[in-house]
Structure 1
């Protein structure tokens, strides 16, 4: 049942978790601390909205400071009234005249906006007493569009076109609701962290398959490319020809090195090669995609906003879109980018800075309400114990969450 809920105050929290034994390591981020800049929305009811933005520890406090500044835009607002025009509010926050110079639409300020936005969507679902996925798929198409800031996208997608896309997908929405019974397939990204030994990688690949995962990811980007090739061959031989294997370089290579190593990795038939070079270098990705075709590229983990995603989609070099709702301006911009991606026929396979907690809701919406193909969702187990309602995986599939909200509540 929908409740009238007024946001009384927004407060931030800097929460950090140091990982152990090489977990979370990649070619660039060798000593990761998984951290959340948390936005908590206190209300006049016995419910709170919880939003998350993801960092690796350093600078997390700066994101929290930006949260504390920007919450003035939503304090005192009733949640249902706020969300009825959230696209306008989101734009106002992103364009705050005193902070916009620090971006625009990227970095500390944009991460703060992600946390605030995610808290608003969490509170909205809790006010209606439903899981986020149900809130989103049940909303009228125009109500979804009203949560979006489509500025700077008018050349490829107007407000009316966004509504039209949702309306067209709604005609076949019921056919796709069967996924609410089967659950959403996951892939195991913790098989091959960069600092794991070869023996650990092989052991993890066997374990992942035993748990029902038929798709898995290996971290590459070693100073010695032969190490990458050896470990990739190990995963392929362990998992077999039918397994889906992705490799992730985490931006470690320049373009010549990316061409060299990607060519060497072709023999394992990678499903994609992820973040091969600097995320701002669209031209390098275009050149690389031509050189290594038919091998496909995945990116989005470090793309900050809808405009950069638009440019990548226009370039043709993005084959898989890894937008993360904890990296862009939250769920609102995630939906915007998902609509853009659908228009360009590029599948969305999110990066999960939230460990899949929020994204398990968003991929259901993407599939049911936008019509994206249900591929799989990244699964990272390392923070599971810290969530009140952690994701549930059965035989390699995310089980559909039933609790009200966005599954983002952390234990005290």
Structure 2
């Protein structure tokens, strides 16, 4: 019989890290500070759960305050009992009568929810003594879906349909498990931050190729489109015709601009154009998809399952970039992945230096849900702050083996 583990206290910590020499910059976020709002669950055992939300510094303290408020829903709970019907508790947190008014299901409160939810899954995996990916792929379908909240999804994906979808994917699962030894393919975003010079981009592309990356991403969205086209042509020339190249506008363009620029970028054979316009504007993305035959990736700033539900059904989404620290944590990520699988849209998560967590989730997506093992973004700027940093070799993520979701930061980083 498993020994009970009770959550005794939740602590939140505001952790910020200055970036150097233009790292992390894009067309909208020109001077970012990478920051984590950390939720740390202390228990009556030697296990503690750690969950993260990611911000760019400003407002990180507000996310921490919201974490402390939401923690009342899990204080005193025994982890196995909590996770046996976590979907119910998730709904209670997401629909908190006071905080829901501030969203609903978006912004500061949603980021805080992600941190709390992720800490619960991390504690659960540590209690079982396994990495998160192992916990998730070993769960029976019924037990897994009990951790999800299907509110507002009943018309497109019921709980029973989710169970059936998971069970149907058992065929071929053995072959898909080879990803655990092969490594999950990564792509390098750090080659082409917005504020990097041409010389630095050339050097970074060459270094990425030397390190085994065959896929990489360039930030676009300059006020002068010719600047974007010139740099895009530069990356394609250095990387070669066989390389997989993506372009990321970070929401900079209005619809007419997006149509015009995507028509030019199409000539460079992009794997996708990412966040071409406002992340809430489903209709604009639909119009863009009709006007230009170029794959569209989106989801980095889509905050919840309902907006994803609309995008997934709209026909404009080529790649789903749901982020487990933007939506309501692992629970909502899995629900969105299930719906995306139903509509045969591949999930390629946004990372934002959170490959730590997403390396577990893409393994689950591939092995348990049958999503194709395409790519996972790699951004290494904060890896030295983690106890068990994500490891990439020859352009592939090595399978994490430590218990939990790899979110533990070095002890001296905390200032509780």
Same fold (TM over 0.5): yes
Aligned counterparts, 1:147-162, within 5 A: 147-162=147-162
> Residue 382 of structure 1 aligns with which residue?
381
> Residue 277 of structure 1 aligns with which residue?
277
Q: Compute the displacement of 1:18 (Å).
A: 1.1
Contact in 2 for aligned 1:34/1:56 (Cα 8 Å): yes
Matched, 1:313 2:312: yes
Q: Compute the displacement of 1:5 (Å).
A: 1.1
Contact in 2 for aligned 1:184/1:377 (Cα 8 Å): yes
Quote the Cα distance in structure 1 between the aligned partners of 2:334 and 2:114: 13
> Residue 233 of structure 1 aligns with which residue?
233
Helix, strand or coil at the partner of 2:46: coil
Quote the Cα distance in structure 1 between the aligned partners of 2:99 and 2:201: 44
Q: Compute the displacement of 1:2 (Å).
A: 5.2
Q: Compute the displacement of 1:173 (Å).
A: 1.7
Q: Compute the displacement of 1:266 (Å).
A: 1.4
Aligned counterparts, 1:9-408, within 5 A: 9-293=9-293, 295-408=294-407
Q: Compute the displacement of 1:170 (Å).
A: 2.0
Regions of 4+ moved over 2 Å: 1-4
Q: Compute the displacement of 1:252 (Å).
A: 0.2
Quote the Cα distance in structure 2 between the aligned partners of 1:352 and 1:300: 11
Helix, strand or coil at the partner of 2:190: strand
TM-score, structure 1 as length reference: 0.99
Seen in structure 2, the aligned counterparts of structure 1 residues 275 and 213 have a Cα distance that, compared at 3 Å, is same
Quote the Cα distance in structure 2 between the aligned partners of 1:45 and 1:204: 45
Quote the Cα distance in structure 1 between the aligned partners of 2:353 and 2:31: 18
Quote the Cα distance in structure 2 between the aligned partners of 1:32 and 1:176: 38
Contact in 2 for aligned 1:218/1:248 (Cα 8 Å): yes
Q: Compute the displacement of 1:175 (Å).
A: 1.9
Helix, strand or coil at the partner of 2:288: helix
Contact in 2 for aligned 1:326/1:354 (Cα 8 Å): no
TM-score, structure 2 as length reference: 0.98
Helix, strand or coil at the partner of 2:189: strand
Contact in 1 for aligned 2:353/2:381 (Cα 8 Å): no
Quote the Cα distance in structure 1 between the aligned partners of 2:119 and 2:354: 16
Contact in 2 for aligned 1:326/1:353 (Cα 8 Å): no
Helix, strand or coil at the partner of 2:355: coil
Q: Compute the displacement of 1:38 (Å).
A: 0.4
Helix, strand or coil at the partner of 1:408: coil
Contact in 2 for aligned 1:248/1:274 (Cα 8 Å): yes
Per-residue displacement from partner, 1:327-346 (whole Å, max 9, x unpaired)? Answer: 00000000000001001110
Per-residue displacement from partner, 1:124-155 (whole Å, max 9, x unpaired)? Answer: 00000000000000011111100001100111
Quote the Cα distance in structure 1 between the aligned partners of 2:172 and 2:187: 27
RMSD between aligned residues: 0.9
| Deviation larger for 164-173 or 401-410 | 164-173
Per-residue displacement from partner, 1:36-66 (whole Å, max 9, x unpaired)? Answer: 1100000001111000001100111111111
Helix, strand or coil at the partner of 2:10: strand
Quote the Cα distance in structure 2 between the aligned partners of 1:355 and 1:168: 30
Quote the Cα distance in structure 1 between the aligned partners of 2:163 and 2:373: 22
Is there any run of 5+ residues in structure 2 with no aligned partner, and where?
Answer: none
Contact in 2 for aligned 1:355/1:383 (Cα 8 Å): no
Helix, strand or coil at the partner of 1:358: helix
Aligned length: 411
